[in-house]
Chain A
Amino acid sequence: DTGVSQNPRHKITKRGQNVTFRCDPISEHNRLYWYRQTLGQGPEFLTYFQNEAQLEKSRLLSDRFSAERPKGSFSTLEIQRTEQGDSAMYLCASSFSEGPNQPQHFGDGTRLSIL
Chain B
Amino acid sequence: AQSVAQPEDQVNVAEGNPLTVKCTYSVSGNPYLFWYVQYPNRGLQFLLKYITGDNLVKGSYGFEAEFNKSQTSFHLKKPSALVSDSALYFCAVRDRGDSSASKIIFGSGTRLSIRP
The answer to whether the Cβ of B71 comes within 8 Å of any Cβ in the partner chain is: no
Within residues 74 to 108 of chain B, which ones have a CB less than 8 A from any CB in chain A? 90, 92, 94, 96, 98-102, 104, 106-108
The answer to whether the Cβ of B11 comes within 8 Å of any Cβ in the partner chain is: no
Q: Judging by beta carbons under 8 Å apart, are A40 and B109 in contact? A: yes
* A41-B109, A100-B94 known; A106+B43 contact, CB < 8 A: yes
Looking at A42, A43, A56, A93, the one whose CB has the most chain B CB atoms below 10 A away is A42
Within residues 57 to 115 of chain A, which ones have a CB less than 8 A from any CB in chain B? 58, 91, 93, 100-101, 103-109, 111
Q: Give the number of chain B interface residues (Cβ < 8 Å).
A: 26
Q: Judging by beta carbons under 8 Å apart, are B108 and A55 in contact? A: no
* A40-B108, A40-B109, A43-B106 known; A100+B99 contact, CB < 8 A: yes
Q: Judging by beta carbons under 8 Å apart, are A42 and B106 in contact? A: yes
Q: Give the number of chain A interface residues (Cβ < 8 Å).
A: 26
Looking at B4, B43, B102, the one whose CB has the most chain A CB atoms below 10 A away is B43
| Residues on A facing B (Cβ under 8 Å) | 4, 6, 31, 33, 40-45, 48, 55-56, 58, 91, 93, 100-101, 103-109, 111
Closest 6 CB pairs of A and B: A42-B106, A106-B43, A103-B46, A106-B44, A48-B101, A108-B43
| Residues on B facing A (Cβ under 8 Å) | 4, 32, 34, 36, 41-46, 49, 51, 90, 92, 94, 96, 98-102, 104, 106-109
Q: What would 16 more interface pairs be, CB under 8 Å, given A103-B34, A106-B36?
A: A6-B43, A33-B101, A40-B108, A42-B107, A42-B108, A44-B106, A45-B102, A45-B104, A48-B102, A91-B44, A100-B96, A104-B46, A104-B104, A109-B42, A109-B43, A111-B41
| A105 and B42 alpha carbons, distance in the complex (Å) | 12
The smallest beta-carbon distance between A106 and chain B, in angstroms, is: 3
* A42-B109, A56-B100, A56-B101 known; A91+B32 contact, CB < 8 A: no
| A91 and B36 alpha carbons, distance in the complex (Å) | 14
B92 (CB) vs chain A CBs: closest residue: A42
Q: Judging by beta carbons under 8 Å apart, are A43 and B96 in contact? A: no
| A6 and B42 alpha carbons, distance in the complex (Å) | 11
